[in-house]
Amino acid sequence: MHDNIEKMNQRAQMLRAEIERHNYRYYVLDAPSIPDADYDQMLRELQQIEQSYPQLITADSPTQRVGAAPLKAFAQITHSIPMLSLSNAFEDPEVEAFDRRVREGLAADCVEYTAEPKFDGLAVSLRYENGVFKTGATRGDGYTGEDITLNLKTIRSIPLKLPVNHPPALLEVRGEVLMLKKDFLRLNQQQSAKGEKEFANPRNAAAGSLRQLDPGITATRHLTFFAYGVGQCDDAQLPQDTHHNMLRYLSSLHFPVSKECRAVTGLPGLLEYYRTIGAKRDDLPYAIDGVVYKVNSLLFQEKLGFVSRAPRFAIAHKFPAQEAMTQLLDIDVQVGRTGALTPVARLQPVFVGGVTVTNATLHNADEIERKDVRIGDTVIVRRAGDVIPEVVAVVAEKRPPGALVFTLPAHCPVCGAKAVRLPSEAVARCTGGLFCPAQRKQALLHFASRRAMDIEGLGDRLVDQLVDQAIVRTPADLYRLGIAALANLERMADKSANNIVNAIEKSKRTTLARFIYALGIRNVGEATAKDLAAHLGSLDRLMAADSERLQQIPDVGPVVAQSVADFFTEAHNREVIEQLRASGVQWDEHEGKSLLTGTAAPLSGKTFVLTGTLPTMSREEAKEKIEALGGKVSGSVSKKTDYVVVGADPGSKYDKAVSLGITLLDEAGLQALLQ
């Protein structure tokens, strides 16, 4: 009997180690090596063993990540070493002053720093005793925080056990808990589907999820963790020389550490890093609100010491606020390509995140009601990267008497057709279809857009004139435009008329995927258009496919299939397509998906990364050609990359490729491969 328990104990230990190893691969490295089903099977087996032999359960078992009972209140935890705060800099001169103070303090001419992203999350401290995660606490006031151990255990990227044979008796790891942007978007979709409150930003979502007394709720919210420092510790292995090496060490213990951490030299190094990360900010998977500079040498850090509660060796260089307060002057209604009526706030111009914003979306009537936005209110406007600015909230205290409640009109403000709102939809739509000039304009702009037919020069103003003067009604009319008709328009020189006619002519040669996307079929974005083109291979097959056939294509569900089928049932749409083909719009067709598998997809399984400017091909073109032969184009270089295509002025991807010894191609090399 005892033998059996011992056997089960060993099996359980093996399963725990395996599960944690796969957790690490999945949640930290983002490189899973087994199917989810196998992982689930291991977890189930471990659960069964622990259920039969509860005496075998350990605190560091992955089964303990979920399922703890709700708490009544959080206990307090006093930090053995206080969690300091960071002083802030907003402008370059403040960073300059920081660097000067550091150099003076160290009597050095030039100092090496580490620069890292400033995660916009919640600071926490994780305490490992003999290699096992024991307690975790919020930063609180820096001296005492709340015991959120059970909630932290649900975060899969936090190791429950350190992956070393001789763990230190004590190690406190400090870092930030946050929610990745993609998990934030998904959470908000779920919240809105359930009719629950959406979170304003990933930080609030992370805070709301971590503050739950019921760890069961936290477990459903994909949180993640990044380490940036060490608190109390008696780890002989801990590097004593530099911050950078200390981070590397934490990474070797399987803690997530930002890939963006760098060692840089002097003030120029700091400022260059700030600009580089600023430019990348929107592409990072997590929200950051600035960068943090730290003196790299730990000896120098100690030498510099502290002022009140902030270290003299570190500073946060914040990005300009991307939210601002302003007055909402009026609300207009815009008509989109699919007839969606979007209320748009006209604002007292305000400077947000580097640009002056005068309009911001209010999304739809429900959102206006939920936020209780009224004309005349003072509102908070947010701008996130290239995304359309939005009104986030009303400043209730500043509401003037007589602020006006807004109601969405019952008719389209452009064509006067009735506006209807389907029960399943959040927006009301104009029912005017392509008779509505607004919808027609948007459809034309979409048709001509860069990722669709790519007609350069066919912008807002031109389309407005062409539609308002009834020169163009459908995309097919574009291909009948002559220089004379264009040159007659306002502010149109012969030369630009000529350019546009040439651009229209050039657009005739396209790809099936672009053409399908250009049609502007409801629910068919670029990715779906590519799928449809790749699987069906010809427009006739697409037009002939019924909803059932369409749903056989991976990623095509009933909604998309129905939209596609409906679109081609419409006689008017078929007519326009016929006219487009008759005017010479063309692309290469193929037999359908069967062509793209096996030996006919010579690049299948190969991953490419593009960097720099190629002499003749655009990045898009190169990508399309690689994908057409079954290859994959990825945004970042890793050991799994097969080829890096290098053009002029390559970025850091080039250096990475060289350091990993990945095959480099120039454009000619790529062309040869494509042959």
Q: Which residues are catalytic?
A: 118
Host H or E run for residue 23: helix 2-23
What are φ and ψ of residue 295, in 5° steps? -60, 130
* Under rule CB under 6 A, residue 319 binds ligand D41: no
What is residue 453's three-state secondary structure?
A: coil
Q: How far is the CB of 271 from ligand D41 (least distance, A)?
A: 18
Q: Residues 377-409, buried b or exposed e (16+ Cβ, 10 A)?
A: bbbbbbbbeeeebbbebbeeeeeeeebeebebe
Taking the C-alpha atoms of residue 411 and residue 423, their distance in angstroms, rounded to an integer, is 17
Decide whether 50 or 176 has the Cβ nearer to ligand D41. 176
589 Cβ neighbours under 8 A, 6+ residues apart: 512, 537, 538, 539
CA 535 to chain centre: 28
Q: Is 436 exposed, middle or buried (0-12, 13-18, 19+ CB in 10 A)?
A: buried
Concatenate the DSSP letters of all residues of 647-669 into one string: -BS--HHHHHHHHHTPEEE-HHH
Decide whether 305 or 558 has the Cβ nearer to ligand D41. 305
* Under rule CB under 6 A, residue 139 binds ligand D41: yes
* Under rule CB under 6 A, residue 273 binds ligand D41: no
* Under rule CB under 6 A, residue 367 binds ligand D41: no
* Under rule CB under 6 A, residue 79 binds ligand D41: no
Q: How far is the CB of 231 from ligand D41 (least distance, A)?
A: 9
Among 20, 176, 183, 235, binds ligand D41 (CB under 6 A): 176
* Under rule CB under 6 A, residue 363 binds ligand D41: no
Which residue is it, tokens 């609180």?
A: 140
CA angle 194, 196, 200 (to 5 degrees): 125
Decide whether 62 or 229 has the Cβ nearer to ligand D41. 229
Which two three-digit tokens encode residue 198?
A: 């959406």
* Under rule CB under 6 A, residue 286 binds ligand D41: no
Of 193, 202, 194, the closest CA to residue 221 belongs to 202
Taking the C-alpha atoms of residue 28 and residue 66, their distance in angstroms, rounded to an integer, is 19
Among 12, 86, 452, 576, binds ligand D41 (CB under 6 A): 86
Site string for ligand D41, 202-241 (x = CB under 6 A): --------------------------xx------------
Q: Which stretch binds ligand D41 (CB under 6 A): 112-120, 524-532, 618-626, 641-649?
A: 112-120
Taking the C-alpha atoms of residue 354 and residue 478, their distance in angstroms, rounded to an integer, is 37
Decide whether 167 or 229 has the Cβ nearer to ligand D41. 229
* Under rule CB under 6 A, residue 274 binds ligand D41: no
Taking the C-alpha atoms of residue 573 and residue 552, their distance in angstroms, rounded to an integer, is 24
Q: How many residues does the chain have?
A: 675
* Under rule CB under 6 A, residue 98 binds ligand D41: no
Decide whether 124 or 673 has the Cβ nearer to ligand D41. 124
Decide whether 142 or 208 has the Cβ nearer to ligand D41. 142
Cβ pair 619, 610 in contact under 8 A: yes
Among 58, 85, 359, 547, binds ligand D41 (CB under 6 A): 85
What is the DSSP-derived secondary structure letter of residue 26?
Answer: I
Decide whether 139 or 383 has the Cβ nearer to ligand D41. 139
Q: How far is the CB of 294 from ligand D41 (least distance, A)?
A: 6
Among 118, 127, 244, 625, binds ligand D41 (CB under 6 A): 118
Among 15, 43, 56, 123, binds ligand D41 (CB under 6 A): 123
* Under rule CB under 6 A, residue 314 binds ligand D41: yes
Q: How far is the CB of 541 from ligand D41 (least distance, A)?
A: 52
A 10 A CB-CB count for 172 gives: 23
Taking the C-alpha atoms of residue 41 and residue 447, their distance in angstroms, rounded to an integer, is 48
* Under rule CB under 6 A, residue 453 binds ligand D41: no
* Under rule CB under 6 A, residue 311 binds ligand D41: yes
- Give the count of residues interacting with ligand D41 (CB under 6 A): 15
Cβ pair 507, 453 in contact under 8 A: yes
Among 156, 294, 363, 625, binds ligand D41 (CB under 6 A): 294
Q: How far is the CB of 314 from ligand D41 (least distance, A)?
A: 4
Q: Which stretch binds ligand D41 (CB under 6 A): 31-39, 118-126, 203-211, 317-325?
A: 118-126
Decide whether 36 or 141 has the Cβ nearer to ligand D41. 141
Of 232, 237, 279, 238, the closest CA to residue 260 belongs to 279
Q: Write the single-letter amino acid at 107.
A: A
* Under rule CB under 6 A, residue 293 binds ligand D41: no
* Under rule CB under 6 A, residue 173 binds ligand D41: no
What is residue 200's three-state secondary structure?
A: coil
What is residue 513's three-state secondary structure?
A: helix
* Under rule CB under 6 A, residue 264 binds ligand D41: no
* Under rule CB under 6 A, residue 84 binds ligand D41: yes
Taking the C-alpha atoms of residue 101 and residue 93, their distance in angstroms, rounded to an integer, is 12
Decide whether 206 or 408 has the Cβ nearer to ligand D41. 206
Note the residues at the interface with ligand D41 (CB under 6 A). Answer: 84-86, 116, 118-119, 123, 139, 176, 228-229, 292, 294, 311, 314
